[in-house]
Every structure is written in structure tokens, then in C-alpha cells.
């Protein structure tokens, strides 16, 4: 009778240990003063510096990268999706005015490839350094037979802190306030099921196809990582008081902006106030997608929306000089939360 062990069942414990050794350097590079534990323990330990907070509130967020991972598999490039994972979490957390403190990741795969996992964690560490938070733990799971060869899933969890008196929740938004937008870096991490259906299934394009409209290959455009807006929000908070922040993810501007608008008010958005990136033009044309559906599915070039008093708008745009921030609308009376015009 044959002898069995965990490795013959598809789980390589030694590969897992090797992966941890490879990723330690990347995790270490994100350390902040609050980190008091090393990778490999049963729990990540973090001691926040709460000096200056009168009534600190912890804010958490969890998310993944979605089917954008399929693009990474097609290109066999895995150094950017970790940035996406961090971005999708910290961009939500910062919408409350919170400062991200730490991050944990979860990576699951059918067969553990240590160097690939280390590359993923390198992307996560790059994202965390941009957001100013530390990686304090995570999980790498080898699940043979559960994922296709060469594929994996990645998800993350972020925690931040904000003083209760400084929470940004949209409740102070008034008629006449200004709506500002900060450009996205492209598709970010939303709508890829539709994108793949149109570009790869319907039109049979390849990831290495050069697209004249984009000025680059299709894969290069699609895999561009999600912009992390934590530094932008921090800069703005130094010069102005924000009343509302919306991260434009799944559901686009149409679904996300109303989440911060009080009842009886709407955000009137001038869709001609910014330049829509060509990737959205390409998708719209090839998929014959209606305009409203585009704005309900994709960010359409605006990754973060801020609402502030009119007197602060000029300071915000000036503070974000070089970032392309601009006024994209106004708050008026109405129902439904949003109106595109």
C-alpha cells in the first residue's frame, strides 16, 4: 500500500515556509512605529499612537481585486495586483477621514509557488507604503483542486483610526456645496467581468495587442494598478474641511456618490468637466454600451469624489496641483442623490 503525506495530497509545507522567508523583506519594509510583532505569529500586534485623539474610532474595510486577476494570469505578471488589493481597502477607509494603520492579506492558490507569492506581497507592500500603513499579518493558503493551475485569489483587510468629532460621513453636506473629483488611473479594479466579455470573448483581442487609441498594449492598460488616494486626502485635510468623500468603485459615480448625500439633496455632476480616459471610449464603442450603463459600471476617469464648502474648493484644487483635481459639480435640492448633466 502506498504511503501518503500532505505533499502527495498537493500541499507543500516546505514551499509555504520558503514563501514566508521570501516575503519577510517586503513585509518588513512597511513597518511603522506601532508594529510590535513579526510575521509568522498567530496574530499581528499593533499598538496605535492615540496621542492627540480625544475620542478615537477604529475604521475597517475589506475587499479583493475581482476578476482583474484574470488579466494578471494572462500576462503572467503579478507585481501590481497587490497594489490593487491595498487600494480597494484603504480608499474605502479614508472616505471616513481615517488614517490607515495596518493591513492584512489573504492569498489562496491551488499550488503554492513561493516566488510568485513573494511578488504578490511585494505589490502589497508597495501599496501599503503609499498608504502609510503596515502589513502586520496575513494568510497564504494552498488549496489543491480548488483553483485552476497558475491561478489564485487575493483579498485584504485594513484598519484605520479617526477622532469621532472628525468623522466624515456626508451629514454636513449642504445645498451650494462643491463637488470635486480626483482622476482615476484607469479602470482600477471594477467592471472586469464586462470588460473581459467584450474585449476577449466577443472581439477576440489579445493582452499583447497594441491599441493605437491607448498608446500601449491592451494588457498594460488593463493591469495598471488602482490609484491610492490616502496621500491626496491627507494633503487636502491640511488646507480644507471635507464634508463628504466617495470612493468610486463598483457601481460607478451613479451608485457611489449618493451614499454620502443627505436626503433631499442631489449632486449635480457635469460629465463634461473632466476628460474621460480613452480606455472607457474603447469599451463603450466595442461593447455598444449605453452612456448611463458606463457611468453605473465604471469610474469613467474619476476615482475619488470630495464635497466641500465653496470657499474651500479653490484651496483643494490648488493643493492637488498636478493631480488633475477639478470641480465636477454642485449640491442642489432634489431626490435620488445624483444627476448627471
Residue 2, domain member (yes or no)? no
Least trusted range by pLDDT, from 31-45, 166-180, 309-323:
31-45
Residues 49, 123, single domain; the answer is yes
Domain residues for 133? 13-166
C-alpha 125/C-alpha 140 separation (Å) is 15
Question: What is the predicted pLDDT for the residue at 256?
Answer: 97
C-alpha 46/C-alpha 7 separation (Å) is 34
How many beta carbons lie within 10 A of that of residue 164, not counting itself? 10
Residues 157, 197, single domain; the answer is no
| Global pTM value | 0.95
Contact by Cβ (8 Å): 107, 139:
yes
How many beta carbons lie within 10 A of that of residue 295, not counting itself? 23
The CATH number of the domain holding residue 89 is 3.30.1330.10
How many beta carbons lie within 10 A of that of residue 10, not counting itself? 14
Q: Which of 107, 138, 166 is the last residue of a domain?
A: 166
Residues 152, 217, single domain; the answer is no
Residues 239, 97, single domain; the answer is no
pLDDT digits (tens, 9 = 90+) for 187-225: 999 999 999 999 999 999 999 999 999 999 999 999 999
C-alpha 69/C-alpha 153 separation (Å) is 8
Question: What is the predicted pLDDT for the residue at 138?
Answer: 92
DSSP string spanning 273-337? Answer: SSPPPHHHHHHHHHHT--HHHHHHHS-TTEEEEEEE-HHHHHHHHHHTTTTT-EEEEEEEE-SSS
Question: What is the predicted pLDDT for the residue at 234?
Answer: 96
What phi and psi, each to the nearest 5 degrees, are found at residue 312? Answer: -95, -15
Residues 329, 183, single domain; the answer is yes
Edge-first strand listing for the sheet containing 178-183: 242-247, 302-308, 178-183, 326-333, 265-269, 338-340
Cell reading at 179: 463637488
Residues 248, 210, single domain; the answer is yes
Amino acid at each position: 500500500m502506498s504511503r501518503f503525506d500532505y505533499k502527495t495530497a498537493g500541499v507543500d509545507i516546505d514551499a509555504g515556509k520558503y514563501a514566508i522567508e521570501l516575503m519577510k523583506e517586503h513585509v518588513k519594509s512597511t513597518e511603522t512605529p506601532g508594529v510590535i510583532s513579526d510575521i509568522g505569529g498567530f496574530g499581528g500586534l499593533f499598538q496605535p499612537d492615540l496621542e492627540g485623539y480625544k475620542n478615537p474610532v477604529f475604521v475597517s474595510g475589506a475587499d479583493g481585486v475581482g476578476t482583474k486577476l484574470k488579466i494578471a494570469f494572462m500576462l503572467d505578471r503579478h507585481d501590481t495586483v497587490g497594489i490593487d488589493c491595498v487600494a480597494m481597502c484603504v480608499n474605502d477607509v479614508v472616505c471616513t477621514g481615517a488614517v490607515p494603520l495596518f493591513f492584512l492579506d489573504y492569498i489562496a492558490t491551488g499550488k503554492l509557488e513561493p516566488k510568485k507569492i513573494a511578488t504578490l506581497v511585494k505589490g502589497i507592500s508597495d501599496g501599503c507604503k503609499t498608504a502609510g500603513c503596515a502589513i502586520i499579518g496575513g494568510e497564504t493558503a494552498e488549496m489543491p483542486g480548488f483553483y485552476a493551475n497558475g491561478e489564485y485569489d487575493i483579498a485584504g483587510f485594513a484598519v484605520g483610526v479617526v477622532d469621532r468629532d472628525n468623522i466624515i460621513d456626508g451629514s454636513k453636506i449642504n445645498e451650494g456645496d462643491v463637488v470635486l473629483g480626483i482622476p482615476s488611473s484607469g479602470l482600477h479594479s471594477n467592471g472586469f467581468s464586462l470588460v473581459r466579455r467584450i474585449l476577449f470573448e466577443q472581439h477576440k483581442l489579445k493582452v499583447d495587442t497594441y491599441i493605437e487609441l491607448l498608446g500601449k498594449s491592451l494588457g498594460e492598460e488593463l493591469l495598471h494598478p488602482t490609484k491610492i488616494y490616502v496621500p491626496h486626502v491627507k494633503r487636502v485635510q491640511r488646507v480644507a474641511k471635507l464634508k463628504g468623500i466617495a470612493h468610486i468603485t463598483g457601481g460607478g459615480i451613479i451608485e457611489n456618490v449618493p451614499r454620502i448625500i443627505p436626503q433631499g439633496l442631489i449632486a449635480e455632476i457635469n460629465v463634461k468637466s473632466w476628460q474621460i480616459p480613452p480606455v472607457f471610449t474603447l469599451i463603450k464603442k466595442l461593447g455598444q454600451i449605453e452612456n448611463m450603463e458606463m457611468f453605473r459600471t465604471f469610474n469613467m476617469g474619476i476615482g475619488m469624489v470630495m464635497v466641500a464648502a465653496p470657499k474651500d474648493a479653490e484651496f483643494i484644487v490648488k493643493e492637488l496641483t498636478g493631480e488633475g483635481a477639478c470641480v465636477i459639480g454642485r449640491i442642489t435640492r432634489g431626490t435620488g442623490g445624483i444627476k448627471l448633466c
